[in-house]
Structure 1
């Protein structure tokens, strides 16, 4: 089974075409609307963190009766949730596919060292988000769906949109990624080479934290998987065709129990 976790301000509706094609190739795909988006209730204030979103995703899998590890594909903010899910509930995840994912935390490298994503001005985020959508305007059948999805979420729950944006901006998952590397969890990074929302320095930081993770780059911006569902379908189908190795888990056997089981 594939669990797909969407990006900031969106819902599964924006990815419908690509996800449907993957399902047509024979995969079972589930794509929930994360809390605060697509009509799903917010997380309680005490749970408003990537760890809280990961716990929610774990409970979602339980409600499906899914007791075997699944492949988790996460885009952007959803990639950060996927990393925490794999880290916190290792028995739930057999493999990660991180698509232009947050978590690398580095904005830029300079003479004085790394500048962190949390230092990046909000206006710079907005400018590059607009640039990211720019090439997609020619795809009239795609952009209206994305803009409608984002606008609906912003109108329905503007506070959730703002809070999750702040979570994404400050996310530093390098420690968790290093732990996943130590466990031997199979991780594939897929990255649009023209991404300016998450710059190349962020990708480099992800790669360094994960060590020898497989990296596949494609032509496209931060939202390439929405504007090019054919390429997304091919890559995910190819990844699913590769048999993942069982992660090597440290600690006692409690780490291998299905989430929520005593």
Structure 2
């Protein structure tokens, strides 16, 4: 079994950390994974390690402000700045070919912005219960910016204390979330506010025009980023590859085998379909 190892580097003159799993088997290129709010590269280890057996070299950076990566400068804390950081991280690692970019939750919004702002950097985009859609209410009348920050926390807390969350999700995310809450509460607040404003409809429309291959993976019971957000993404993208699975917002963490199998199918690396 290939294992993720953690490394330190410097991006834009500031410290950064990342996880790396070297490819095994026929080479499929580089897959870059961008994590969700309050988490880091380490949270998703069990979900990402199986992808190396499919031939991917997997890079999982801790985004600025999380894990061991320094926060962005105070005058440049935008999704565009996160996208530039991802570009510069890949330059630092010497990645010369387009990558498969996968983003979960807030990492999905960063992935969208990265793909939009840096054409040629991304060959395929996979959005997993991602932020970036225009609306969050079931009837489509409330925009993401209208959603109170407290509402996010209520639903995330409910997911963590559910039976599944207590047994599978909470033990995995508790360390990262607690460390960030205690040591970097300002980062959590600032990134949460940024996520709340992440209406990326124009960027999604442009990616559709460019015909970038995009897949949308979604846990059907997500209340943190509800299905209305997925519908906004899908509408803006036109006709992406959409796959739904049983699960909440953190299904990618609590069910790593399902995620690895589903992503394998989405990327056409296996002929075996996954029942949803």
Q: TM-score range by the shorter chain?
A: 0.7 to 0.9
Corresponding residue to 2:62 among 25, 33, 36: 33
- What does residue 17 of structure 1 align with? 46
Could you report, residue by residue, the CA deviation over 1:36-74 in whole angstroms, capped at 9, with x for unpaired residues? 000210101222011000000000010111111000000
- Which segments of 5 or more consecutive residues in structure 2 lack a partner in the other structure? 1-29, 271-276
Which residue of 2 is the match for residue 235 of structure 1? 262
Match of 1:209 among 233, 236, 245: 236
Structure 1 counterpart of 2:10: none
Q: Tell me the distance in 1 between the aligned counterparts of 2:165 and 2:110.
A: 29
Q: What does residue 187 of structure 2 align with?
A: 160
Deviations 1:132-169 (A, max 9, x none): 222433425x4222111111122222111111011111
TM-score (norm 2): 0.83
User: Is 1:114 aligned to 2:141, yes or no?
Assistant: yes
Aligned-partner Cα distance in 1 for 2:75–2:149: 25
Taking the aligned partners of 2:248 and 2:256, their CA distance within structure 1 comes to 13
Q: 2:98 aligns with which of 69, 72, 79?
A: 69
The range that moved more, 187-196 or 19-28, is 19-28
Q: In structure 2, how many angstroms separate the alpha carbons of the residues matched to 1:151 and 1:107? A: 27
1:97 CA displacement: 0.2
Q: Which has the higher contact order (CA 8 A, sep 6+)?
A: 1
Counterpart of 2:141 in 1: which secondary structure? strand
Higher percent of residues as helix:
1
**Other structure's SS at 2:248 match:** coil
| Distance in structure 1 (CA, Å) of the matches to 2:47 and 2:220 | 19
Answer yes or no: is the 8 Å Cα contact 1:137–1:143 preserved in 2.
yes
SS of equivalent residue, structure 2 residue 61? coil
Equivalence for 2:19: none
Deviates more, 1:200-209 or 1:130-139: 130-139
Q: Match of 1:196?
A: 223
1:125 to 2:152 alignment: yes
Question: Contact 1:5 / 1:82 at 8 angstroms: preserved in 2?
Answer: yes
User: In the alignment, is residue 186 of structure 1 matched against residue 213 of structure 2?
Assistant: yes
Query: What value does the CA root-mean-square deviation take over the aligned residues?
Result: 1.5
Gaps of 5+ in 1: 244-262
Note the C-alpha offset of 1:109.
4.5
Tell me which of 75, 83, 91 is aligned to 2:112. 83
SS at match of 2:89: helix
Distance 2:165 2:136 in 1: 26
Q: Is the 8 A contact 1:47 1:53 kept in 2?
A: no
Structure 2 contact 34–104 (Cα < 8 Å) conserved: yes
Indicate yes or no: 2:165 matched with 1:137.
yes
- Structure-2 separation of matches of 1:138 and 1:8: 19
